[in-house]
Protein backbone atom coordinates (compact mmCIF):
# COMPACT_ATOMS: atom_id res chain seq x y z
CA UNK A 1 0.00 0.00 0.00
CA UNK A 2 1.51 3.29 -1.11
CA UNK A 3 2.02 5.77 1.70
CA UNK A 4 0.28 9.13 1.21
CA UNK A 5 1.43 12.05 3.32
CA UNK A 6 -1.91 13.62 4.23
CA UNK A 7 -0.24 16.71 5.66
CA UNK A 8 1.53 17.28 2.36
CA UNK A 9 -1.74 16.72 0.45
CA UNK A 10 -3.33 19.63 2.33
CA UNK A 11 -0.16 21.71 2.21
CA UNK A 12 0.24 21.69 5.99
CA UNK A 13 2.88 21.06 8.62
CA UNK A 14 2.47 18.15 11.02
CA UNK A 15 1.69 20.56 13.89
CA UNK A 16 -1.22 22.19 12.01
CA UNK A 17 -4.23 23.18 14.10
CA UNK A 18 -7.74 21.86 13.55
CA UNK A 19 -8.79 25.25 12.16
CA UNK A 20 -5.89 25.27 9.69
CA UNK A 21 -6.85 21.77 8.52
CA UNK A 22 -10.46 22.83 8.02
CA UNK A 23 -9.53 25.94 6.02
CA UNK A 24 -7.00 24.10 3.86
CA UNK A 25 -9.49 21.34 3.07
CA UNK A 26 -12.30 23.69 2.06
CA UNK A 27 -10.01 25.75 -0.16
CA UNK A 28 -8.61 22.72 -1.99
CA UNK A 29 -11.97 20.90 -2.18
CA UNK A 30 -13.48 23.86 -4.01
CA UNK A 31 -10.51 24.08 -6.38
CA UNK A 32 -10.42 20.39 -7.36
CA UNK A 33 -14.15 19.52 -7.10
CA UNK A 34 -15.19 17.14 -9.94
CA UNK A 35 -18.10 19.42 -10.89
CA UNK A 36 -15.60 22.16 -11.71
CA UNK A 37 -13.15 19.77 -13.39
CA UNK A 38 -15.42 17.26 -15.18
CA UNK A 39 -12.82 15.93 -17.62
CA UNK A 40 -9.69 16.28 -15.51
CA UNK A 41 -8.64 12.86 -14.15
CA UNK A 42 -5.74 14.37 -12.21
CA UNK A 43 -8.13 16.78 -10.47
CA UNK A 44 -10.45 13.88 -9.61
CA UNK A 45 -7.56 11.95 -8.07
CA UNK A 46 -6.42 15.03 -6.18
CA UNK A 47 -9.96 15.60 -4.89
CA UNK A 48 -10.06 12.01 -3.66
CA UNK A 49 -6.76 12.44 -1.80
CA UNK A 50 -7.96 15.72 -0.30
CA UNK A 51 -11.07 14.03 1.09
CA UNK A 52 -9.02 11.13 2.44
CA UNK A 53 -6.62 13.52 4.12
CA UNK A 54 -9.41 15.55 5.69
CA UNK A 55 -11.28 12.44 6.81
CA UNK A 56 -8.23 11.40 8.83
CA UNK A 57 -6.67 14.66 10.00
CA UNK A 58 -9.93 16.35 11.02
CA UNK A 59 -10.70 13.51 13.44
CA UNK A 60 -8.43 13.75 16.53
CA UNK A 61 -8.52 10.00 17.21
CA UNK A 62 -7.79 9.03 13.60
CA UNK A 63 -5.09 11.68 13.36
CA UNK A 64 -3.38 10.28 16.44
CA UNK A 65 -3.36 6.79 14.92
CA UNK A 66 -2.08 8.15 11.60
CA UNK A 67 0.74 10.04 13.30
CA UNK A 68 1.76 6.86 15.16
CA UNK A 69 1.26 4.14 12.55
CA UNK A 70 1.49 5.96 9.21
CA UNK A 71 -0.15 4.13 6.31
CA UNK A 72 -1.27 1.33 8.63
CA UNK A 73 -3.30 3.66 10.88
CA UNK A 74 -6.58 1.95 9.87
CA UNK A 75 -5.33 -1.29 11.39
CA UNK A 76 -4.23 0.27 14.68
CA UNK A 77 -7.17 -1.12 16.67
CA UNK A 78 -6.78 -4.53 15.07
CA UNK A 79 -3.06 -4.47 15.86
CA UNK A 80 -3.67 -3.66 19.51
CA UNK A 81 -6.27 -6.43 19.79
CA UNK A 82 -4.06 -8.94 17.99
CA UNK A 83 -1.14 -8.00 20.21
CA UNK A 84 -3.23 -8.71 23.31
CA UNK A 85 -4.33 -12.06 21.90
CA UNK A 86 -0.79 -12.98 20.94
CA UNK A 87 0.56 -12.02 24.35
CA UNK A 88 -2.17 -14.02 26.10
CA UNK A 89 -1.57 -17.01 23.85
CA UNK A 90 2.17 -16.71 24.24
CA UNK A 91 1.88 -16.46 28.01
CA UNK A 92 -0.15 -19.64 28.30
CA UNK A 93 2.25 -21.56 26.05
CA UNK A 94 5.24 -20.25 27.95
CA UNK A 95 3.77 -21.51 31.17
CA UNK A 96 3.41 -24.96 29.62
CA UNK A 97 6.79 -25.41 27.95
CA UNK A 98 8.83 -22.36 28.90
CA UNK A 99 10.20 -21.82 25.39
CA UNK A 100 7.40 -20.12 23.36
CA UNK A 101 8.62 -17.22 21.21
CA UNK A 102 6.66 -13.96 21.61
CA UNK A 103 6.68 -10.95 19.28
CA UNK A 104 7.43 -7.42 20.29
CA UNK A 105 7.15 -4.10 18.43
CA UNK A 106 9.65 -1.34 19.04
CA UNK A 107 7.93 1.37 17.02
CA UNK A 108 10.63 1.53 14.35
CA UNK A 109 8.46 3.17 11.66
CA UNK A 110 5.63 2.50 9.21
CA UNK A 111 7.42 -0.24 7.27
CA UNK A 112 8.53 -2.07 10.43
CA UNK A 113 4.98 -1.95 11.69
CA UNK A 114 3.60 -3.35 8.43
CA UNK A 115 5.94 -6.34 8.61
CA UNK A 116 5.12 -6.93 12.23
CA UNK A 117 1.41 -6.56 11.63
CA UNK A 118 1.58 -9.10 8.80
CA UNK A 119 3.40 -11.58 11.01
CA UNK A 120 0.87 -11.09 13.80
CA UNK A 121 -2.01 -11.95 11.51
CA UNK A 122 -0.12 -14.79 9.87
CA UNK A 123 0.09 -16.72 13.16
CA UNK A 124 2.88 -17.95 15.45
CA UNK A 125 6.31 -19.06 14.27
CA UNK A 126 8.90 -21.52 15.58
CA UNK A 127 7.35 -24.71 14.16
CA UNK A 128 3.91 -24.21 15.67
CA UNK A 129 0.82 -24.42 13.42
CA UNK A 130 -0.34 -21.10 11.92
CA UNK A 131 -3.23 -19.53 13.79
CA UNK A 132 -5.72 -17.06 12.33
CA UNK A 133 -7.17 -14.24 14.39
CA UNK A 134 -10.75 -13.00 14.15
CA UNK A 135 -11.66 -10.62 11.30
CA UNK A 136 -12.06 -6.92 11.98
CA UNK A 137 -14.48 -4.51 10.37
CA UNK A 138 -13.00 -1.98 7.95
CA UNK A 139 -12.63 1.72 8.66
CA UNK A 140 -15.60 4.02 8.07
CA UNK A 141 -14.99 6.84 5.57
CA UNK A 142 -16.42 10.36 5.72
CA UNK A 143 -16.89 12.75 2.80
CA UNK A 144 -18.66 16.02 2.01
CA UNK A 145 -20.85 16.60 -1.03
CA UNK A 146 -21.30 20.27 -1.95
CA UNK A 147 -24.57 21.15 -3.70
CA UNK A 148 -26.64 24.23 -4.48
CA UNK A 149 -30.11 24.62 -2.97
CA UNK A 150 -31.63 24.29 -6.45
CA UNK A 151 -29.93 20.90 -6.82
CA UNK A 152 -31.86 19.37 -3.92
CA UNK A 153 -35.27 20.73 -4.94
CA UNK A 154 -35.74 17.64 -7.09
CA UNK A 155 -34.60 14.04 -6.70
CA UNK A 156 -31.61 13.41 -8.93
CA UNK A 157 -28.65 11.10 -9.43
CA UNK A 158 -24.97 11.83 -8.92
CA UNK A 159 -21.83 9.88 -9.70
CA UNK A 160 -19.15 10.23 -7.05
CA UNK A 161 -15.57 9.02 -6.86
CA UNK A 162 -14.56 8.09 -3.32
CA UNK A 163 -11.24 6.39 -2.62
CA UNK A 164 -10.90 5.38 -6.25
CA UNK A 165 -14.34 3.80 -6.44
CA UNK A 166 -17.28 5.10 -8.47
CA UNK A 167 -20.55 5.36 -6.57
CA UNK A 168 -23.90 6.10 -8.23
CA UNK A 169 -25.99 7.90 -5.66
CA UNK A 170 -29.66 8.92 -5.78
CA UNK A 171 -30.13 12.14 -3.81
CA UNK A 172 -33.73 12.54 -2.62
CA UNK A 173 -35.34 15.96 -2.87
CA UNK A 174 -35.42 17.87 0.41
CA UNK A 175 -31.96 16.93 1.72
CA UNK A 176 -30.90 19.49 4.33
CA UNK A 177 -27.60 21.26 4.91
CA UNK A 178 -25.46 19.22 7.30
CA UNK A 179 -27.52 16.05 6.82
CA UNK A 180 -25.48 12.84 6.72
CA UNK A 181 -26.40 9.61 4.95
CA UNK A 182 -24.73 6.21 5.20
CA UNK A 183 -23.69 4.12 2.19
CA UNK A 184 -23.21 0.62 3.58
CA UNK A 185 -20.11 -1.31 2.57
CA UNK A 186 -18.30 1.53 0.79
CA UNK A 187 -15.74 2.20 3.51
CA UNK A 188 -12.33 0.65 4.07
CA UNK A 189 -11.54 -3.00 3.45
CA UNK A 190 -12.00 -5.37 6.35
CA UNK A 191 -9.01 -6.94 8.09
CA UNK A 192 -8.48 -10.69 7.99
CA UNK A 193 -11.74 -11.34 6.15
CA UNK A 194 -13.81 -8.88 8.20
CA UNK A 195 -16.64 -6.82 6.63
CA UNK A 196 -16.06 -3.52 4.88
CA UNK A 197 -16.69 -0.25 6.68
CA UNK A 198 -19.35 2.26 5.64
CA UNK A 199 -19.23 5.59 3.83
CA UNK A 200 -20.85 8.59 5.48
CA UNK A 201 -21.66 11.52 3.18
CA UNK A 202 -22.46 14.92 4.70
CA UNK A 203 -24.30 17.40 2.47
CA UNK A 204 -23.08 20.98 2.36
CA UNK A 205 -25.80 23.00 0.65
CA UNK A 206 -25.09 26.48 -0.64
CA UNK A 207 -28.12 28.78 -0.83
CA UNK A 208 -27.57 31.31 -3.58
CA UNK A 209 -31.27 32.11 -4.07
CA UNK A 210 -33.49 34.92 -2.78
CA UNK A 211 -35.28 32.45 -0.52
CA UNK A 212 -34.42 31.61 3.06
CA UNK A 213 -34.97 27.97 3.96
CA UNK A 214 -36.11 26.79 7.37
CA UNK A 215 -36.78 23.08 7.28
CA UNK A 216 -39.41 22.57 4.59
CA UNK A 217 -40.61 26.17 4.60
CA UNK A 218 -39.29 29.03 2.49
CA UNK A 219 -39.28 32.76 3.25
CA UNK A 220 -38.83 35.73 0.93
CA UNK A 221 -39.53 39.44 0.61
CA UNK A 222 -41.38 40.90 -2.40
CA UNK A 223 -41.72 44.54 -3.45
CA UNK A 224 -45.20 46.01 -3.77
CA UNK A 225 -45.56 49.41 -5.44
CA UNK A 226 -47.33 52.19 -3.57
CA UNK A 227 -50.33 52.34 -5.88
CA UNK A 228 -51.06 48.60 -5.70
CA UNK A 229 -50.71 48.69 -1.91
CA UNK A 230 -53.16 51.63 -1.69
CA UNK A 231 -55.70 50.65 -4.32
CA UNK A 232 -55.27 46.88 -4.45
CA UNK A 233 -54.73 44.74 -7.51
CA UNK A 234 -53.14 41.64 -8.94
CA UNK A 235 -49.42 41.06 -9.43
CA UNK A 236 -47.09 38.12 -9.90
CA UNK A 237 -44.66 36.92 -7.26
CA UNK A 238 -41.74 34.48 -7.61
CA UNK A 239 -41.78 31.03 -6.02
CA UNK A 240 -39.00 28.44 -6.07
CA UNK A 241 -40.33 26.76 -9.20
CA UNK A 242 -42.01 29.63 -11.07
CA UNK A 243 -44.30 32.61 -10.62
CA UNK A 244 -47.84 32.79 -9.25
CA UNK A 245 -50.47 35.53 -9.35
CA UNK A 246 -51.58 37.12 -6.09
CA UNK A 247 -54.35 39.58 -5.29
CA UNK A 248 -53.35 42.46 -3.01
CA UNK A 249 -56.17 43.94 -0.96
CA UNK A 250 -56.63 47.74 -0.95
CA UNK A 251 -54.72 49.62 1.78
CA UNK A 252 -52.32 46.76 2.41
CA UNK A 253 -49.74 47.97 4.98
CA UNK A 254 -45.97 47.59 4.63
CA UNK A 255 -44.65 44.36 6.16
CA UNK A 256 -47.81 42.35 5.52
CA UNK A 257 -47.12 38.59 5.53
CA UNK A 258 -48.93 36.03 3.38
CA UNK A 259 -48.63 32.24 3.23
CA UNK A 260 -48.67 30.24 0.02
CA UNK A 261 -49.50 26.70 1.08
CA UNK A 262 -47.52 23.95 -0.59
CA UNK A 263 -45.15 26.37 -2.35
CA UNK A 264 -42.21 25.69 -0.05
CA UNK A 265 -39.48 23.04 -0.20
CA UNK A 266 -40.02 19.31 -0.79
CA UNK A 267 -40.32 17.15 2.30
CA UNK A 268 -37.44 14.65 2.48
CA UNK A 269 -38.46 11.21 1.19
CA UNK A 270 -42.16 12.17 1.05
CA UNK A 271 -42.96 12.35 -2.64
CA UNK A 272 -45.44 15.11 -3.47
CA UNK A 273 -45.27 16.76 -0.03
CA UNK A 274 -44.07 20.35 0.28
CA UNK A 275 -43.68 22.96 2.96
CA UNK A 276 -45.12 26.47 2.68
CA UNK A 277 -43.84 29.75 1.27
CA UNK A 278 -44.09 32.85 3.45
CA UNK A 279 -43.89 36.22 1.70
CA UNK A 280 -43.40 39.61 3.33
CA UNK A 281 -44.58 42.65 1.37
CA UNK A 282 -42.10 45.51 1.22
CA UNK A 283 -43.63 48.82 0.16
CA UNK A 284 -41.75 50.38 -2.75
CA UNK A 285 -41.85 54.20 -2.66
CA UNK A 286 -41.80 55.87 -6.10
CA UNK A 287 -38.75 57.98 -6.91
CA UNK A 288 -37.84 60.61 -9.53
CA UNK A 289 -41.32 62.16 -9.43
CA UNK A 290 -42.36 64.56 -12.16
CA UNK A 291 -43.66 68.04 -11.34
CA UNK A 292 -47.19 66.88 -12.09
CA UNK A 293 -46.86 63.87 -9.78
CA UNK A 294 -45.54 66.06 -6.97
CA UNK A 295 -48.49 68.44 -7.43
CA UNK A 296 -50.96 65.54 -7.25
CA UNK A 297 -49.36 64.20 -4.08
CA UNK A 298 -49.57 67.67 -2.53
CA UNK A 299 -53.25 67.85 -3.36
CA UNK A 300 -53.74 64.42 -1.80
CA UNK A 301 -51.83 65.59 1.27
CA UNK A 302 -54.18 68.57 1.65
CA UNK A 303 -57.22 66.31 1.33
CA UNK A 304 -55.87 63.96 4.00
CA UNK A 305 -55.12 66.81 6.40
The residue ranges of every structural domain in the chain are 70-122, 135-208, 212-304
* pLDDT tens string 55-70: 889 888 888 888 887 7
* Ramachandran angles phi, psi of 268, nearest 5°: -55, 125
CATH class of residue range 212-304: mainly beta
Predicted local confidence at residue 44, as pLDDT:
80
Predicted local confidence at residue 33, as pLDDT:
80
* pLDDT tens string 247-266: 999 999 999 999 999 999 99
* Ramachandran angles phi, psi of 253, nearest 5°: -75, 160
End-to-end CA distance of the chain: 87
Arithmetic mean of pLDDT, 36-58? 83
Is the pLDDT at 220 greater than 90? The verdict is: yes
Arithmetic mean of pLDDT, 125-131? 43
Q: What is the mean pLDDT of the chain?
A: 81
- The pTM score is 0.56
Question: Quick check: do 135-208 and 212-304 share a fold?
Answer: yes
Is the pLDDT at 94 greater than 50? The verdict is: no
Q: Residue 245 CB: number of other CB atoms within 10 A?
A: 8
Predicted local confidence at residue 86, as pLDDT:
59
Is the pLDDT at 180 greater than 70? The verdict is: yes
Is the pLDDT at 120 greater than 60? The verdict is: no
| Contacts (Cβ under 8 Å, ≥6 apart) of 169 | 157, 158, 159, 160, 183, 201
Predicted local confidence at residue 133, as pLDDT:
55
| Residue 143 confidence class, pLDDT cut points 50, 70, 90 | confident
| Residue 83 confidence class, pLDDT cut points 50, 70, 90 | low
User: Hey, which of 55-69, 105-119, 155-169, 235-249 has the most confident mean pLDDT?
Assistant: 235-249
Arithmetic mean of pLDDT, 196-224? 93
CATH, domain range 135-208: 2.60.260.20
Amino acid sequence: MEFIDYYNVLGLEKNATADQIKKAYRKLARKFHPDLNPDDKDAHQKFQQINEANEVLSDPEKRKKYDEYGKDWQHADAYEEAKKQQQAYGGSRKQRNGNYQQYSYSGGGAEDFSDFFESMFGGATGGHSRRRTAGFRGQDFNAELHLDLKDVYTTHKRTLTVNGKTIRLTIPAGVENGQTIKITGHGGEGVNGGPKGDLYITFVINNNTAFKRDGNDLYAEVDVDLYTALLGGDFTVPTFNGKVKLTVQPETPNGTKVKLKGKGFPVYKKEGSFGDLYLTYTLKIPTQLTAEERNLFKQLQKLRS
